[in-house]
């Protein structure tokens, strides 16, 4: 199985690019984030023509997540249990009846439980969205641990835009990101908690060291200057991680007019564990 994740920053604006890329890369399952459309606006027909079933969750022009699969699409969930929400009018604190945003969708594809995740940005270290982000990640970690406790052999992929650079190697400038979101200790600890719950970053062994980024801001020529961040990940459960055979960031997909500010991340999995 070739599994990919891509924050496309509007599927309607980049549909042709995504369709061409799917064909070139021979992708079996694609998790999308920031589709930025309602369910009735998603281009299901185009994906159907390409041979993909799609599950999409989009409430308005913000956020939006989807899973496109040509190896089956079953048991779709439109949020993980106890997924926190946020109310834009909450002021300085979360409220008891927040709106659950379109940030998580799960489906079983070819025997793998795939979750397409768009983790809240956090905005600033003092913004209510920062507390929301940490609460959201804690709930994801709790669910991830529970899923493995219920079935240690489950093949689970937690993929998407995590809005966290877990190490200093994952940003172009440590000094630039000091006292900003994405690199703060609580965020990094929250990411590590998901890893510690049993989920491995399966791409890292194939692209070690600094300079491997998945996101480059549109401003200040960040992409040509190679000033990026690694914030998009495929985290796999032990049973799935044992079958990984390759991983990469497709930096070429970030090039050219009309590109998303993120590049796709791809992992390839065999049918079973590699022989010892």
Active site residues: 118, 161, 262
Write the CB contacts of 276 (distance below 8 Å, at least 6 apart in sequence). none
Asked whether 212 and 176 are in contact (CB, 8 A), the reply is no
Residues pairing with 74 in the sheet: 108
The DSSP symbol for 103 reads: -
Q: Considering only CA atoms, which of 128, 108, 117 is closest in space to residue 83?
A: 117
Binding site membership for Mg(2+): which residues? 7, 34, 161, 163, 261-262
The Cβ-side half-sphere exposure at 74, using a 13 Å CA radius, reads: 8
- Give the separation between CA 161 and CA 233, rounded to whole angstroms: 7
Beta strands in 64-208 (DSSP E): 65-69, 74-77, 104-109, 112-118, 156-161, 200-201
Q: Considering only CA atoms, which of 47, 53, 18 is closest in space to residue 34?
A: 18
Q: What is the dihedral of CA 67, 69, 74, 78, to 10 degrees?
A: 10
- Give the separation between CA 233 and CA 58, rounded to whole angstroms: 21
Binding site membership: which residues? 7, 34, 161, 163, 261-262
**How far, rounded to the nearest angstrom, does the alpha carbon of residue 261 sit from its chain's CA centroid?**
14
Asked whether 203 and 132 are in contact (CB, 8 A), the reply is no
């Amino acid at each position: 199985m070739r599994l990919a994740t891509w924050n496309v920053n509007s599927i309607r604006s980049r549909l042709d690019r995504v369709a061409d890329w799917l064909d070139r890369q021979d992708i079996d399952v694609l998790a999308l984030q920031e589709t930025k459309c309602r369910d009735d606006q998603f281009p299901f027909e185009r994906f159907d023509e390409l041979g993909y079933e799609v599950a999409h969750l989009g409430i308005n022009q913000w956020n939006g997540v989807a899973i496109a699969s040509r190896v089956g699409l079953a048991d779709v969930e439109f949020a993980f249990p106890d997924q926190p929400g946020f109310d834009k009018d909450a002021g300085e604190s979360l409220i008891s009846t927040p709106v659950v945003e379109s940030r998580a969708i799960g489906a079983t594809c070819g025997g793998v439980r795939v979750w397409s995740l768009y983790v809240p940005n956090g905005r600033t270290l003092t913004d209510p969205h920062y507390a929301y982000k940490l609460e959201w990640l804690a709930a994801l970690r709790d669910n991830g641990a529970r899923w493995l406790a219920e079935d240690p052999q489950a093949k689970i992929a937690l993929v998407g835009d995590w809005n966290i650079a877990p190490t200093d190697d994952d940003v172009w400038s440590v000094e630039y990101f000091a006292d900003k979101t994405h690199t703060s200790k609580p965020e990094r600890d929250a990411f590590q908690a998901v890893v510690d719950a049993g989920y491995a970053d399966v791409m890292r062994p194939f692209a070690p060291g600094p300079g491997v980024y998945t996101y480059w801001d549109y401003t200040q020529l960040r992409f040509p200057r190679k000033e990026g961040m690694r914030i998009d990940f495929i985290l796999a459960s032990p049973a799935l991680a044992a079958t990984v055979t390759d991983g990469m960031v497709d930096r070429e997909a970030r090039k050219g007019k009309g590109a998303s500010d993120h590049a796709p991340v791809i992992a390839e999995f065999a049918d079973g564990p590699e022989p010892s």
